[in-house]
Amino acid sequence: MTRPDTRDLALAMDLPLTPNGIQNVRAKLKRLTSRGILIETEPGLFTQP
């Protein structure tokens, strides 16, 4: 099983799979990372600490 990436999260959230839609999800995940809610293990891959 592969780890979900930003594109998979956008798909699961029923958001458009356009470059802009994926970038919006990535920005939200980065914001959660800056607040300590998530960590970014690799570029585009996020997990809970």
What integer pLDDT is reported at residue 4 of this predicted model? Answer: 72
Element (H, E) at 41: strand 39-42
**Per the domain annotation, does 26 fall within a domain?**
yes
Q: Provide the domain limits for residue 32.
A: 9-44
pTM recorded for the entire structure: 0.77
What integer pLDDT is reported at residue 43 of this predicted model? Answer: 83
What integer pLDDT is reported at residue 2 of this predicted model? Answer: 61
**Per the domain annotation, does 18 fall within a domain?**
yes
CB neighbour list of residue 42: distance below 8 Å, 6 or more residues apart: none
What integer pLDDT is reported at residue 36 of this predicted model? Answer: 94
Whose tokens are 């930003």? That residue is: 6
pLDDT tens-place values along the chain, 49 residues long: 466 788 888 899 998 899 998 899 999 999 999 999 999 888 878 888 8
**Per the domain annotation, does 32 fall within a domain?**
yes
**Per the domain annotation, does 1 fall within a domain?**
no
**Per the domain annotation, does 36 fall within a domain?**
yes
**Token output for 6:** 């930003």
What integer pLDDT is reported at residue 3 of this predicted model? Answer: 66
**Per the domain annotation, does 25 fall within a domain?**
yes
> DSSP letter at 46?
E
Q: How many domains does the chain have?
A: 1
